[in-house]
Amino acid sequence: RALPLSMAVAGNGLKAFPGLGTVIGGLAHAVAYGLIFDALGRSLVLTLARHGELLPETAAKEFEEGISEHLEAGVRRITKMALDEKTG
């Protein structure tokens, strides 16, 4: 849970330095918020699959309960993509 928040805070700090800091800070923000929205989307899909309709409270609960698992899976996917790109 702390990874996206840490990345967002670090991104803000890096953006204070013009040029490279702005670019790296923006990239950190993009990854952090991408992970959060991916986890939110996966929770929504899970809720729809289980209940056949959007239940906001249930979706929020799924998000809270599954965020660590979804974030971990997201980090693994991003790491794999980066490594595949580097070796490919």
CA dihedral 38→1→5→22, nearest 10 degrees, is: -50
Whether residue 70 is predicted with pLDDT greater than 80 in this model: the reply is no
Within the chain, what is the greatest distance between any pair of CA atoms? 48
Query: H/E/C letters for each residue in 30-46?
Result: HHHHHHHHHHHHHHHHH
pLDDT (average), residues 63-84: 81
Whether residue 66 is predicted with pLDDT greater than 90 in this model: the reply is no
Domain map (residue ranges) of the chain: 2-87
Whether residue 4 is predicted with pLDDT greater than 90 in this model: the reply is no
Q: What is the pLDDT of residues 7-44, one digit of tens each?
A: 888 888 888 899 998 998 888 888 888 888 888 888 88
